[in-house]
Amino acid sequence: MSSLYSHQPQSSRDGVELPLMYGQGREDVRVDLNALSIQPSDKVLVISSGGCSALRLLAEGPALMTSIDLNHTQNYLLELKRAAIRVFDRSTCIKFLGEEDASPLERQGLLDMLWDDLSDDATAYWKTHRRQVNRGVNYAGRTDRLSRITGLILRYLTHSPRVFDEIMALQTLEEQRAYFRERFNNRRWRAFLRLCLNSYTLRRIYGEGFSKYLADDATLSQHLERKIEKAFYSTMINKNGLMTQLLFGRPPAGGTCAPYLTDSVYQRVKQNLEQLHLVSANLLDFIARTDRQQTYSKVTLSNVIECVPQDALRLFFIQLSAFLPSGGVVVMRSMIGHQKHYLPPELEIDHSLSEQLTAQEQTYMYSNVSVIKKR
């Protein structure tokens, strides 16, 4: 999810400084990898958010990776992660970010090794917010704290303290489906969705822009209920790091889940760090600039399109078309929005690939993935 759900007007070309919303990404980056097929000549634009997608896509070795976010704080986070990858080996980086055990004192010592690799603004932010490093910055965002609260409620109110361990111990999809039917999907679970994960609650956390163009409270909780049921029926939760983090606020037992931290990818990310550039700006302002037309061949926009008012969508897609060169590709996600895509003649949706990737997306947040190509 994008951090454009702000508490302030989204009109600044230079961005705004808001609380840290996402300590890590909440999207299945395999979707973006399959849709974009990044080549060495590509220039890629990605939403910063928690930085996970930007870093994993960077491993593909594009000529340029620009990571944009309206919220300065999300870019300070990505800048910190970039510095950690540059300075630390993989094992140390994983501990610093919070995916393996380390004491607050140890993480603070590691933070002190990164100041020379941060900009002045990022340095000022992290010196003021040092406590966010104690648990690991992957778990410092509002979304991550919400997931921890969700996990506590699942363990102590809707189910039992054993629920996480029981789900992690399931061996087959049939066992998991039976567990969902007979143990997990009870009245307390459904009441929790209606009372806690509704538009009002999420707007309190993310700002008034959240779900403004989506749907009412009942539809949102029903959407989440359907998506979580689908996840239990179609993928092993104990191997789905995105789901275990969203539900329980922790990765699966026995391993990290951020793809850029895997052993086979980490060194490739480290080698390509110089290609990563960070921009704090309003996305609509950025793509409207004439000096950037036909610059970026591959773009992944998370679900920021749901923050664009319906009456502004036509202009948005006209500007997006001018922004892309011929053959350019855009990936967009949506939660439960019902906005129509007013595409100019040069842009077309690849419906077959979109349907395939929608089925592949492993988080419960998104209902649809759209792959748009420029002729």
CA nearest to 237, candidates 250, 224, 225: 250
Longest dimension (CA), the chain: 58
Query: Which pair of tokens denotes residue 336?
Result: 């439960």
pLDDT at site 336: 67
Per-residue pLDDT at 209: 54
Owner of token pair 């439960």: 336
Closest-CA residue to 343 (of 281, 67, 351): 351
Q: Which residues, listed in sequence order, are joined to residue 279 by a DSSP beta bridge? A: 68
Alpha carbon distance 308, 21 (integer Å): 19
Domains of the chain (ranges; CATH) run: 29-136+258-374 (3.40.50.150), 142-248 (no CATH)
314: helix, strand or coil: helix
pLDDT value at residue 6: 35
Residues 279-337 pLDDT 10s:
999 999 999 987 877 889 999 999 888 878 778 888 999 999 999 999 999 999 987 65
pTM here is: 0.89
Residues of the chain with pLDDT under 70: 1-13, 198-200, 202-220, 255-257, 336-340, 364
d(CA 306, CA 6): 13
| Contact (Cβ atoms closer than 8 angstroms) between residue 150 and residue 249 | yes
Rounded Cα gap, residues 104 and 112, in angstroms? 12
pLDDT at 10: 34
Establish how many alpha carbons lie within 13 A of residue 118's alpha carbon, considering only the half-sphere containing its beta carbon: 21
pLDDT (0 to 100) of residue 1: 41
Of 128, 251, 68, give the one whose Cα is nearest residue 111.
128
* Tens-place pLDDT, residues 212-230: 545 555 566 777 788 889 8
Count of beta carbons in the 10 Å neighbourhood of residue 96: 27
